[in-house]
Amino acid sequence: MARERVDMSVSFGNRKIGPGQPVFIAAEIGINHNGSLDDAKKLIEVAAAAGADAVKFQKRTPEICVPDDQKQIMRDTPWGRMSYLDYRYKVEFNRGQYLELGEHAKKYNLEIFASPWDIESVDFLTSIDHKAIKIASASLTDLELLKKVKETGKLIIASTGMSTMSEITSAMEVLGTENLVLCHATSAYPCSVNELNLKMIHTLQSKFGVPVGYSGHEVGLATTLAAVAIGAVFIERHITLDRTLWGSDQAASVEPVGFAKLVRDIRSIELAMGDGIKQVYASEERPRQKLRRV
């Protein structure tokens, strides 16, 4: 399936994603807002202050996505004890709220996109004119969903966590290699360092010939920076206002100070990579004259 392409870069709004381009950094807000529009806006502001390129949310139609045998299971939530189905509705934003979040992101020059978990949610996201759609790792084997997303003609960013190479290949047969970014991921929250397998970035690049990024769920920043150093062109990390907040993704998320450091260090790595052409820099001339004996 892999083939040569002179330029693998794809466009996300007015930014490019691909080799030779600045690393595209997405702040995954997901459902860390816990249904609060104000907290979602604060997280957008955190992403903007850090220098991210985009923010990402998750979109579900609860009555479709929640299995029937789980809908009435009672659970404790920030709003008290309620059924799992009622909880899922609590953390979903409606069309008006998404449009408001889109305007808030635009104010800070951020792109906004989301991962749909069902066909109806694809239609929803298409109607509010997001420029890209994310395929979550959990949805990579939902070929009907993949076909629907492909039909939108939008940029697709697809994560490969919890998937075999055979499953990734089957997904690629639906998605194709145009207007696509693949993301290596390991879907454990948080993920152990010994299961990150960052060399998969090279494997996906070689096999499919598309821009490859990294969606990290580990604790800490060093391994995400390593992903950039070995060639990831897109980075996604969950962000949170506070890792101790209620929610299953909070512990694998990065707080504001840490996310700002991550973006700063990614930009430093980009500068440090250089062009691979050996040269003697002006800053080396004086030490060269002083220290060289021959």
Q: Is residue 75 assigned to a domain?
A: yes
> How far, CA to CA in Å, does 236 sit from each of 33, 213, 263, 277, 281?
17, 8, 11, 30, 34
pLDDT in tens, 72-108: 999 999 899 999 999 999 999 999 999 999 999 999 9
Q: Is residue 234 assigned to a domain?
A: yes
Report the C-alpha gap between 86 and 240 in whole angstroms: 23
* Under 8 Å between Cβ of 115 and 133: yes
Over 80: is that where the pLDDT of 2 sits?
A: no
Q: Is residue 127 assigned to a domain?
A: yes
Confidence of residue 3 (pLDDT cuts 50, 70, 90): very low
Q: Both tokens of residue 288?
A: 């060269």
Of the candidates 12, 9, 10, the residue with the CA atom closest to the CA atom of residue 130: 12
Structural domain span for residue 61: 10-291
Q: Is residue 172 assigned to a domain?
A: yes
The predicted model scores a pTM of 0.94
Q: So what's the pLDDT on residue 249?
A: 87
The CATH number linked to 44 is: 3.20.20.70
Q: Is residue 4 assigned to a domain?
A: no
Q: Is residue 1 assigned to a domain?
A: no
Report the C-alpha gap between 294 and 285 in whole angstroms: 15
* Under 8 Å between Cβ of 106 and 128: no
Q: Is residue 2 assigned to a domain?
A: no
Higher-scoring residue by pLDDT: 262, 8:
262
Q: Is residue 5 assigned to a domain?
A: no
Count the domains in the chain: 1
Q: So what's the pLDDT on residue 203?
A: 98
pLDDT in tens, 5-25: 458 899 999 999 999 999 999
